[in-house]
A and B are shown apart, each in its own frame.
Chain A
Amino acid sequence: MRIFAIVKRILAELLRDKRSLALMLLAPILIMWLMNIMFSANSDTKIKLAAVDVPQIVQKNLEKTSDVSIVEYSSQTVAKEKLQENKIDALIVYREKANTYNVTYTNTDATKTALTKQALNVALTKEKITGLSQAIQKLEVIINNINPTSTKSLFVTAGNKTKINSYYKYGNSDTNFFNKIVPILMGFFVFFFVFLISGMALLRERTSGTLDRLLATPVKRSEIVFGYLISYGMVSIVQTTIIVLATIWLLKIEVVGSILSIILISVLLAMVALAFGILMSTLAGSEFQMMQFIPLVVVPQIFFSGIIPLDSMATWVQYIGKVLPLTYTGDALTKIIMYGDGLNQLIGDIIALLIFLLVLVALNVVGLKRYRKV
């Protein structure tokens, strides 16, 4: 069988090509590891505030908030200078007459601004509650003096803190935006690496002239395409498994569904990427041109694939998302990881990916006509 001879040859070539092998198998781990560092470092934002004429009780409340430190200034001018020099993240000025807090933010980091707003709100609410509970206590004393026994139990609770217990359907209190995009990023990396390697491989075959030589034998065009699909498909199973496991372990992602389903969907995506890479390589004249496709056709996929919720966008944008394979894997992987869906619930996504694969393979077989007319 010619297909198997082609598969054998491609695998033999690949095993000798240590650089490509490393790129395919080690680079995804490296990137996931870097992301792990990046996103775990980001979790504790500390803010520094300056206060002018802010009541002591509010200042205390602010200070009690974790990751918030506060410095009091007697004059506004000094405090403003500090703000200019970026030494503090926000300046809070209280005008007693108008009972107004004027807050100036550095606003160079949106997270810090948001945190400041939140902390101030909490502090002010607390102040009100404290005031209220003090009033209640005073009231209690008065009432007690009138009738020592009857109402006691009523006000005991007022001094107690209300406790909130949080339960999470998925993940824990650390679950954030990042967890939501991990399935999409994982799909993206599978797509990216397989696209690049397979595209480069066929391109090299073309520029070295071996494709011409191959096409000068009675080999069928489809045999070449399937030879590539099978050999790189085998490699991509290994690669995808590595990416999936590295993501889950390194980034400590909680998977509600089955890891096997994740790998299956990813391998399907890898096959689509493979066919897509091969197709794009027929349009590229050199390896550099192949690289130029990355910002053009690979990177945009990431924006349409669910990182930003598509249903909030214009209809035409939603239609673009529908013709990109990453949309379907992003959806499927999210459902497996976060909701524990089984493959039978993802049949729509799977069919969409299979259609992509079928169309791309057919286009490839026809596309090779550029290099041999029969």
Chain B
Amino acid sequence: MKYVVYLKQIRKKFDKQVVLREINLVVKKGEILGLIGPSGAGKSTVIKTMLGMEKADGGEAFILATTMPNRKILGRIGYMAQSDALYETLSAKANLEFFAKMKGISKEQLTNEITHVARIVDLSTSLNRRVSEYSGGMKRRLSLAIALLGSPELLILDEPTVGIDPALRKKIWQELGILRDAGTSILITTHVMSEAELTDRVALLLHGNIIADDSPQNLEKQYAVESIEEVFLKAEESEELR
């Protein structure tokens, strides 16, 4: 299978609330896919069902040519959750070490890996501080660093740039670009439309369906507008008319 992620007719409801009606979605090797949608659209739910943290009510998910859920495949995925999810009382370094070991990174590579990811997110000088002393942005960066551990083939980032200042945000996107060029596939969610312009392909999630799925340029052309934000508004309008 040529796709790194392949979601086929994924359905999910919580109690009676249908969150995902029918999600069909692919991520190809070496591309950045932006999953865009307003808060509460179900972006996190898409990610959690494909990783196996939530049980889908229907459909199939394949990651790296393996039917999900599958525990071993998780070692080849870097996942950054929407919440920071860090051990606050421990140092940043202890957090990195712990998750590195969980991912199965060997002792010899441990130090190298930690130095490497800390440099990417610009935390090299504050690794020994406790996470509870970190600012919101620093926690976000540490969270991203943990996802980057072990050079995963697939990165799944749930709203990674929330609370990060513009300069660093730019740097992170640059870094994602470098990773992509090196062959990493990236699935990134955001509700910040301007960030969507930086992706290779955009999937708009609304009312439990992917209502548009193309490169940002093509979408803007198709809807005859200047930005993804306007694409989104137009798509939402036509969706509501239907």
Q: Which residues of A are at the interface with B, using a C-beta cutoff of 8 A? A: 2, 5, 9, 12-13, 16-17, 208-210, 212-220, 371-374
Contacts and interface: CB of A to CB of B under 8 A. Distances in A.
A216 B81 contact: yes
A314 to B, nearest CB: 41
B89 A17 contact: yes
Interface of B: 51-53, 55, 69-75, 77, 79, 81, 83-90, 94, 97-99, 101-104, 146
Contacts of B69: 372-374
18 contacts: A2-B101, A5-B102, A9-B94, A13-B89, A209-B81, A209-B84, A210-B85, A212-B81, A216-B51, A216-B74, A217-B99, A217-B102, A217-B103, A372-B51, A372-B52, A372-B71, A373-B52, A374-B52
Contacts of A218: 71-75, 102-104
B85 A208 contact: yes
A12 B72 CA distance: 27
Given A212-B53, A216-B81, 10 more contacts: A2-B101, A9-B87, A9-B90, A9-B94, A13-B89, A212-B85, A216-B51, A217-B103, A218-B72, A218-B74
Given A216-B74, A372-B69, A373-B69, A5 B81 contact: no
B146 to A, nearest CB: 7
B70 to A, nearest CB: 6
B190 to A, nearest CB: 18
Given A9-B94, A212-B53, A219 B89 contact: no
B98 A9 contact: yes
A12 B90 CA distance: 7
Given A16-B90, A17-B89, A214 B52 contact: no
A17 B88 CA distance: 11
A220 B81 contact: no
Given A216-B77, A373-B55, A210 B87 contact: yes
Contacts of B98: 5, 9
A13 B70 contact: no
A16 B133 CA distance: 14
Select the residue from B75, B77, B84, B85 with max chain A CB neighbours within 10 A: B85
Contacts of B83: 208-209
A100 B83 CA distance: 82
B106 to A, nearest CB: 12
Contacts of B88: 208
A213 B89 CA distance: 17
A16 B91 CA distance: 11
Contacts of B103: 217-218
Nearest to A12: B90
